[in-house]
Amino acid sequence: MKATIKKYESILSPLEIDVLNLLWKKKKAKVRDIFNTLKSNQKVALTSVAVILDRLHEKGIVGREVETARGGLRYIYFPLKDQKQFERSIIESNVDKMITKFGKTATVYFNERFSK
């Protein structure tokens, strides 16, 4: 878990990483499912989990659908990318940023680096 936190900490907050890790494990989950699992390991509020899931949804990292159950309606959250696809998209966006910022210097550098 700690290695994952270090990897993503520049992109996501620690709680966002915890929530995303759980979603990767569970595939699909309700707000309360995530909260119940997290609260056994750390001090966290249900409202914080709801905010984090909404933020991850706004960032396009997780999706959500409305589930109609016997007890009524609820949101079901799920990851839009698996861990590998997510990591790939981070690398892609960082490489794109480098190329936009440094142009030819960056492309020459990447060519030299990867031709070794």
Partner 1 sequence: MVSFFYDPFKMGLVIVSLLLSLGLFIVLKKYKQLSFKKKLGIMYAHMFTLIFPFVFFALFQGCQAMFNNCSQLGKILTMLGITALISLVFGVFLGPLIYIKRFEKKSIKTDNAAKHWIHNFVKKHAIKLKIENPQIQILNEAKPQAFSIKYVKSQIFITLGLIDLLNRKEIEAVLLHELGHIKNRSSLYKFSVNLFKLVSPLASFSTFHKELSKEEHLADAFAIHIQKTNKNIISAKRKMNAFFKFSRSVS
Piece of 69-77, 82-90, 93-101, 103-111 that binds partner 1 (CB under 8 A): 69-77
Among 19, 22, 29, 31, binds partner 1 (CB under 8 A): 31
The answer to whether 72 contacts partner 1 (rule: CB under 8 A) is yes
Could you tell me the smallest distance in angstroms from the CB atom of residue 106 to partner 1? Answer: 31
Could you tell me the smallest distance in angstroms from the CB atom of residue 84 to partner 1? Answer: 27
Residue 76 CB burial class (10 angstroms; 0-12, 13-18, ≥19):
middle
Among 50, 98, 99, 106, binds partner 1 (CB under 8 A): 50
Distance between CA atoms of residues 84 and 74, nearest Å: 29
Q: Which residues lie closer than 8 Å to 20 by C-beta, 6 or more apart?
A: 8, 12, 56, 61, 62, 79, 86
Binding site for partner 1 (CB under 8 A): 13, 30-32, 45-48, 50-55, 57, 64, 66, 68, 71-75
